[in-house]
Structure 1
Amino acid sequence: MTLSWVQIFRLGLVQACLGAIVVLMTSTLNRLMVVELALPVVLPGFLVALHYGVQITRPNWGHLADQGGNRTRWIIAGMALLALGGLGAAAAIPLLESHFGLGLALSLLAYAVIGLGVGASGTSLLALLATATAEHRRPAAATITWLMMIAGIALTAITAGKFLDPYSHARLMVIVAIICTGAVALTILAVWGIERRVVIRPAPPPVRFRDGMRDIWADTRARNFTFFVFLSMTAYFMQELILEPYAGLVFNYTPGQSTQMSGAQNGGVFLGMVLVGVAASGLRLGSLRAWVVAGCIGSAVMLVAIAGASLWVLPLVPLVVALGFFNGMFAVAAIGSMMQLAGEGQDKREGTRVGLWGASQAIAAGFGGLTGAALVDLARSLLPVADAFGAVFLFQATIFIASAALAARIMSPRPRALMVPGE
């Protein structure tokens, strides 16, 4: 049997737990370092980049899960690593204030462990979903799990923010400890017994990691999809560090207004994900390839409009919401395609495949964000502010168009599950 809707929702709780811990590291601790501790912005930026960089180990974690045939233990072990890293990162905050060298060393170690935990738990979870989800349910499964991750991020940020005031280092440690402990406990409850109740492909014959990766890389579809993931996710994350500064410098948005704009953008992402989940799985409308291509092209069109918004006197917020909508459409369809392609692999190494694509995504996330920021700095030295940001948005739109073209060429026009009557 395959995963039921209830079991898919249970696995989505793991994604919510991942988001809950990671948002503390990338948002709350980032703010504490810059504002309360008055440290350079580059420090938390480097630490966040470090946690992305460490996720290059995702193929190794996927390989281990494939070889062992027990992905549940790696999901739980990864969450435990993530919680340990989260506690270490929080403990480093008071040390950064009193003993900077020791605090920095602990921060580096903690963020590396966070990256390892995300890689181990997230890769094994996606591999389990890829092997045990019915093909026609994969778009909805991708939508459900990612929406639950967004929910975990939002709920944690709101709740932790309320309890952090008035701020103290001790209060921070208590809150982080509660969230991390709760995330591990909820993960255990969420995944316990699921893997034993669904039909999973037998574990592949033992093989060295290097040999397994070589075999997967020799698969043209897997290799091309890796390139697509890197290219599209580079475009996806390129605006991450520059959209709010653009709103402030060009449209004179206050910090509160730009933050609200960012929230509205996430609302658009939510709607785009829901649309694909309902249309592709519930109504069987369109292929995942069609949704990916439409999301990429729509994102490119919105970026062109955002680039010229000041010149054409267009309202920024509706354009940003629309960008989020197409981003969400593309992202969840791409994740569904990843699950589809991993499940179709004849080598029975879904975890290693998912790990390879997860590593590509993580590298693209760090590369895209930093590249967008660097290009804006370079362009501002040569062009007026509005034109500098606009040039980078246009470059980002070009990458999205290239991603759409690549997706149209390498993805199947219609998943098999949508062609088999009665499935």
Structure 2
Amino acid sequence: MSQPAVPQFTGLGWLAVVRIGLVQASIAAIVMLTTTVLNRLMVVEYALIAGIPAGLVGWHYAVQLCRPLWGHGSDKASGKGISRSVWIFGGIVVLAFGAILAVQSTIMMSGSFALAMTIGVAAYTLVGIGVGASGTSALALLASGVAPDRRAPAAAVTWIMMVAGIVVSAIIVGALLDPFTPERLLAVASGLLLVCITVTGLAVYRIEPRGGIASQAFAATAKAEPAPDFREALLEILREKAARRFTLFIFVSMMAFNMQDLILEPFAGLVFGMTPGESTSLGGMQSGGVLIGMIVAGIGGSAFSGRLPVELRHWIVFGCTGSALALASLALAAVAGPGWPLAANVFALGFCNGLFAVAAIGAMMGLAGSGEKTREGVRMGVWGAAQAIAFGLGGLVGALGVDAARRILISDGAAFQVIFGIEAALFVLAAVLAVRATSADLQPAVLSARLTEKTREREVFA
């Protein structure tokens, strides 16, 4: 006697994808506060060397080296019927608590520096844990719950919403922060964190099907084999040429992407004389460029089509090359000073960043489910860890490089020019690595993985 068929369930719908995007937007808004606004305040308003906030931000990225472990834990939990939503919401609460501690430690910098730094290290530890736990679990939910042919466009949608969250929060925070006072900073930050926690809670509420036919089909889309132990999962990923090359590309491109993140606002303040609100709004201008670049890349047919990594190559290379040219222009701006069209230059940099980033994320999602045994949580955790290392190292190298160059060259403009030039060179290297990471000889492996997954789905939904 034949078994009753499980009615077809195509995975999470577009409304659920948008809800995950709201989670990403909330995470990004809080991170913007801790890595951009507080960084500028420490360097300009509190007259600290750039290496101090860079070290704190770098530490929060170092904590995220545990992303593969959190992704593996999320895989294990989901295999036992425990919702990934618990990991997501718990992570955002930890992130918000760390952020408010970071704000408090910044305010204390003008008093007891040792105590402020102690609290700051604890705060950025919590920020790293919160970002890693919530972000990795959200991406794992996206990769495991969305049908394979929708993964790349779903990733593009969530990343566009993430950048939109940065843009909106930067504009609002920038407007509310002037004239700057510690009390105003604390009030604005508290309001932002409460909004982000509330939005995340509403976004993940019952996002995963519970009970009934939909829940059975949702569970059936997971890999049939139990999740391997952590060491076995890592070894499987390291054995794959495609995964190794892609990890290297992620590392170099994201290091280039983030080198200017901690120095852009101090650059605007020291070289162009901008206020905290003006420089925060300039950061929002860059994020606006990233947002439009992502939309253009998606509408252009790359990320939104669910194509394979090799078909996304030209978007990645064009974005990396354009980013290098925009940074070369910023290097000229560092010498030219006031009068340079800085806002347009920063917008162009963001636009090219968006082109390569959304295509790279589309390629990442295409490879997320290609493991024989490893699940999406571990794979997204490995790439997330590579990104975190690159972000932390890039920000630290950029900030320490500026400190050293300012001492040697005795000129703020010349110091920033050197760092922007190095960053441009890294983007050129990233373009070369992108070609290797998406080379045609890796295409059969990806095609095979997709065909296997589609065959498994047909068996589940027959």
TM-score normalised per structure 2: 0.77
Partner of 1:353: 379
Partner of 2:460: none
Deviations along 1:294-333, one digit per CA (max 9) or x if unpaired, are 211222333345545779x996554443322111101111
Matches of 1:385 and 1:165, distance apart in 2? 25
Matches of 2:94 and 2:58, distance apart in 1? 18
- How big is the shift at 1:116? 0.3
In structure 2, the residue corresponding to 1:205 is in which secondary structure? coil
24-33 vs 267-276, greater mean Cα deviation: 24-33
Partner of 2:86: 73
Partner of 2:11: 2
Aligned residue type for 2:314: A
128-137 vs 157-166, greater mean Cα deviation: 157-166
Is the alpha carbon distance of 1:412 and 1:308 closer, same or farther for their aligned partners in structure 2, counting shifts above 3 Å? same
In structure 1, the residue corresponding to 2:249 is in which secondary structure? helix
Answering whether residue 457 of structure 2 is matched by residue 403 of structure 1, we say: no
Is the alpha carbon distance of 1:131 and 1:288 closer, same or farther for their aligned partners in structure 2, counting shifts above 3 Å? farther
Answering whether residue 67 of structure 2 is matched by residue 88 of structure 1, we say: no
Partner of 1:369: 395
Matches of 1:358 and 1:320, distance apart in 2? 26
Deviations along 1:366-393, one digit per CA (max 9) or x if unpaired, are 2112323444555663698777655544
Aligned residue type for 1:271: I
Partner of 1:266: 287
Is the alpha carbon distance of 1:25 and 1:142 closer, same or farther for their aligned partners in structure 2, counting shifts above 3 Å? same
92-101 vs 210-219, greater mean Cα deviation: 92-101
Deviations along 1:247-266, one digit per CA (max 9) or x if unpaired, are 778xx633267666544433
The match for 1:149 among 129, 147, 162 is: 162
- How big is the shift at 1:397? 3.0
Partner of 2:7: none
Instruction: Give unmatched runs, 5+ long, in structure 1.
Output: none
Aligned residue type for 1:365: F
The match for 1:210 among 231, 242, 249 is: 231
Contact 1:20 1:153 in 2 (8 A): yes
Contact 1:306 1:393 in 2 (8 A): yes
Matches of 2:35 and 2:269, distance apart in 1? 22
Is the alpha carbon distance of 1:204 and 1:118 closer, same or farther for their aligned partners in structure 2, counting shifts above 3 Å? farther
Partner of 1:54: 63
The match for 2:137 among 124, 137, 144 is: 124
Partner of 2:459: none
Partner of 2:366: 340
Contact 1:123 1:355 in 2 (8 A): yes
90-99 vs 229-238, greater mean Cα deviation: 90-99
Deviations along 1:136-171, one digit per CA (max 9) or x if unpaired, are 433432332223223323333444455567777666
Contact 2:171 2:281 in 1 (8 A): no
Contact 2:12 2:145 in 1 (8 A): yes
- How big is the shift at 1:175? 4.7
Deviations along 1:66-117, one digit per CA (max 9) or x if unpaired, are 1121422211221121122223334445655665444432221121011000
- How big is the shift at 1:31? 5.0
Instruction: Give unmatched runs, 5+ long, in structure 2.
Output: 1-9, 452-462
Is the alpha carbon distance of 1:345 and 1:170 closer, same or farther for their aligned partners in structure 2, counting shifts above 3 Å? same
Is the alpha carbon distance of 1:33 and 1:7 closer, same or farther for their aligned partners in structure 2, counting shifts above 3 Å? same
- How big is the shift at 1:132? 2.4
Matches of 1:405 and 1:173, distance apart in 2? 44
181-190 vs 63-72, greater mean Cα deviation: 181-190
Count the aligned residue pairs: 418
Answering whether residue 319 of structure 2 is matched by residue 300 of structure 1, we say: no
Aligned residue type for 1:236: F
Is the alpha carbon distance of 1:3 and 1:87 closer, same or farther for their aligned partners in structure 2, counting shifts above 3 Å? same
Matches of 2:89 and 2:315, distance apart in 1? 33
Aligned residue type for 1:231: V
- How big is the shift at 1:124? 0.9
The match for 2:273 among 254, 259, 269 is: 254
Contact 1:2 1:133 in 2 (8 A): yes
Contact 2:143 2:376 in 1 (8 A): yes
Partner of 2:121: 108
132-141 vs 352-361, greater mean Cα deviation: 132-141
Matches of 1:120 and 1:173, distance apart in 2? 25
Matches of 1:268 and 1:160, distance apart in 2? 18
Contact 2:170 2:284 in 1 (8 A): no
Contact 2:303 2:359 in 1 (8 A): no
Partner of 2:27: 18
Matches of 1:193 and 1:388, distance apart in 2? 51
Is the alpha carbon distance of 1:204 and 1:77 closer, same or farther for their aligned partners in structure 2, counting shifts above 3 Å? farther
Identity level (%): 45
Contact 2:331 2:417 in 1 (8 A): yes
Partner of 1:326: 352
158-167 vs 47-56, greater mean Cα deviation: 158-167
- For residues 146-295 of structure 1, the aligned pairs below 5 Å read 146-160=159-173, 173=186, 175-196=188-209, 197=214, 198=218, 200-202=221-223, 204-243=225-264, 253-255=272-274, 262-279=283-300, 280-282=302-304, 287-295=311-319
Deviations along 1:400-420, one digit per CA (max 9) or x if unpaired, are 222222221222668869x99
